[in-house]
């Protein structure tokens, strides 16, 4: 039996935000394919050890992630330096199984002499230094802006250490794979793992336009505000904004619009119902970063999708969305789609494209092949 160490940046259960969704459904796919998993997860915030992970993993270990101010002043990025554990390193050295690092965050020991002769795989969830540069550009708080800029610089420096000592780099998007292939000859593209196995899109019409995402993430907040303030006043159609932890500014903006409602911290079941009953999905981003799982969720479960180029570029999903460049385009497309039923022909096109590229079963076989070829 093949065995694999996986180092996760967070406890991947419940799978309720982008990064941990990819990790959790990767674990599930590996286990179903017969791989024995030794999971190492860093614990912080309000996420707790969960026995659900033992369904897919042979062994599960948890490590505290103390968020110490002193780590801000060290050479390595804070997101890397704060994920340090002697116990983790000791366990990794007790066998010769390959080590799978989930994200640059987890690569603290990738260059450690004790792991010199091991097979080391890094899945890059983003080009992290670019992601942190974008966070800095979106941030208004001067101290947070400084932190993001410094972290971006450190991540760019640490990237060389990561790519030098990895044997294989797996990227979630084609654009990220292209970027890393210039630094590492053994770079491959494998789409993200996700919860959707079947196309559950309903035919006909839905009741509203939906935007969903983690609303505490600055890019999602900005996209939601753009929808509420720039689009909502100019369309005569109900709009629902759904997601985790919206701030006061967004709540106030929603309250000022007659046709917009806010669903705060919906459960998985509630979110799935919101997605399936929507008529139009608004998929908008102001930064190119990895692959947006909300796009897959909408396409597997929802009806019409409006997106911008940053959301769909190099995903192979462009023809499944109405691509818009600005608010004028968006308003025009919304007014056109309001009266259009979603039909069986559109569902079949989705099935054809999504099952070809975004099948967990196919993509886990690609992953296994690249690790043990």
- Topology match between the domains 3-195 and 209-347: yes
Q: Left (φ > 0), alpha (ψ -120 to 50) or beta: where does 133 sit?
A: alpha
Task: Find all residues with CB under 8 Å of 122, minimum gap 6, and list them.
Answer: 101, 103, 104, 107, 110, 162, 166, 168, 169, 170
Q: What is the pLDDT of residues 82-114, one digit of tens each?
A: 999 999 999 999 999 999 999 999 999 999 999
Closest Cα to residue 317, out of 281, 343, 282, 354? 354
What mean pLDDT, rounded, does the chain reach? 94
- Each domain of the chain, given as residue ranges in start order, spans 3-195, 209-347
Buried b (16+ CB within 10 A) or exposed e, 150-171: bbbebbbebbebbbebbebbbb
How far is the C-alpha of 369 from the C-alpha of 373, rounded, in Å?
5
The pLDDT assigned to 190 comes to: 96
Q: Which CATH superfamily is domain 209-347 in?
A: Glycogen Phosphorylase B; (3.40.50.2000)
| N- to C-terminal Cα separation, the chain | 15
How far is the C-alpha of 110 from the C-alpha of 183, rounded, in Å?
16
Instruction: Identify the sign of the CA torsion 140, 142, 146, 147.
Output: negative
How far is the C-alpha of 83 from the C-alpha of 67, rounded, in Å?
9
DSSP assignment string, 274-324: HHHH-SEEEE--SS--S--HHHHHHHHH-SEEEE-HHHHTTTT-GGGSEE-
**Number of residues that make up the chain:** 373
User: Taking 90 as the threshold, does the pLDDT of residue 291 lie above it?
Assistant: no
H or E stretch at 334: helix 327-337
- With bands split at pLDDT 50, 70 and 90, how would you rate the model's confidence at 289? low
H or E stretch at 6: strand 3-8
User: Taking 80 as the threshold, does the pLDDT of residue 73 lie above it?
Assistant: no
How far is the C-alpha of 345 from the C-alpha of 8, rounded, in Å?
40
Q: The tokens 């993509």 sit on which residue? A: 363
Average pLDDT, integer, range 269-289 = 92
The pLDDT assigned to 329 comes to: 95
Q: What is the pLDDT of residues 4-17, one digit of tens each?
A: 999 999 999 999 88
How far is the C-alpha of 303 from the C-alpha of 299, rounded, in Å?
7
How far is the C-alpha of 342 from the C-alpha of 311, rounded, in Å?
21
Buried b (16+ CB within 10 A) or exposed e, 231-247: bbeebebbbbbbbbebe
The arrangement of secondary structure in 3-195, i.e. its CATH architecture, is 3-Layer(aba) Sandwich (3.40)
Q: What is the pLDDT of residues 326-339, one digit of tens each?
A: 999 999 999 999 99
- With bands split at pLDDT 50, 70 and 90, how would you rate the model's confidence at 139? confident
CA 14, distance to chain mean position in Å, is: 14
How far is the C-alpha of 6 from the C-alpha of 38, rounded, in Å?
6
Is the CB of residue 62 less than 8 Å from the CB of residue 82?
Answer: no
Q: Of 31-35, 266-270, 274-278, which gets the smallest average pLDDT?
A: 266-270
- With bands split at pLDDT 50, 70 and 90, how would you rate the model's confidence at 269? very high
Q: What is the pLDDT of residues 224-262, one digit of tens each?
A: 999 999 999 999 999 999 999 999 999 999 999 999 999
Q: The tokens 């999905």 sit on which residue? A: 281
Strands (E), 25-133: 36-43, 59-64, 99-102, 120-124
């Amino acid at each position: 039996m093949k065995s694999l160490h996986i180092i996760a940046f967070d406890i991947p259960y419940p799978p309720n935000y982008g990064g941990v969704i990819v990790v959790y459904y990767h674990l599930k796919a590996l286990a179903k394919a017969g791989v024995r998993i030794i999971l190492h997860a860093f614990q912080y915030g309000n996420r707790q050890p969960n026995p659900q992970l033992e369904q897919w993993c042979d062994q599960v270990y948890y490590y505290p992630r103390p968020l110490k101010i002193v780590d801000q002043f060290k050479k390595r990025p804070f997101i890397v330096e704060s994920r340090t554990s002697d116990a983790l390193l000791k366990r990794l050295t007790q066998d010769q199984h390959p080590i799978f690092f989930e994200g640059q965050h987890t690569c603290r020991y990738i260059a450690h002499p004790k792991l010199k002769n091991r097979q080391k795989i890094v899945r890059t969830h983003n080009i992290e230094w670019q992601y942190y540069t974008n966070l800095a550009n979106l941030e208004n708080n001067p101290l947070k802006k400084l932190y993001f800029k410094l972290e971006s610089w450190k991540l760019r420096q640490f990237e060389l250490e990561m790519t030098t000592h990895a044997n294989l780099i797996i990227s979630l998007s084609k654009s990220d794979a292209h970027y890393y292939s210039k630094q590492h000859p053994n770079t491959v593209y494998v789409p993200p793992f996700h919860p959707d196995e079947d196309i559950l899109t309903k035919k006909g019409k839905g009741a509203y336009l939906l935007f969903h995402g983690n609303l505490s993430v600055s890019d999602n907040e900005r996209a939601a505000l753009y929808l509420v303030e720039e689009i909502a006043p100019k369309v005569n159609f109900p709009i629902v904004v759904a997601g985790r932890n919206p701030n006061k500014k967004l709540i106030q903006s929603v309250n000022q619009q007659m046709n917009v409602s806010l669903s705060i911290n919906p459960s998985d079941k509630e979110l799935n119902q919101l997605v399936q009953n929507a008529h139009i999905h608004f998929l908008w981003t102001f930064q190119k970063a990895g692959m947006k799982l909300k796009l897959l969720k909408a396409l597997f479960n929802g009806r019409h999708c409006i997106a911008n180029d940053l959301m769909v570029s190099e995903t192979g999903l462009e023809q499944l969305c109405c691509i818009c460049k600005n608010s004028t385009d968006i308003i025009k497309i919304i007014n056109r789609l309001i009266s259009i039923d979603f039909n069986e022909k559109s569902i079949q096109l989705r099935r054809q494209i999504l099952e070809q590229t975004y099948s967990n079963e196919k993509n886990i076989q690609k992953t296994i092949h690249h690790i043990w070829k």
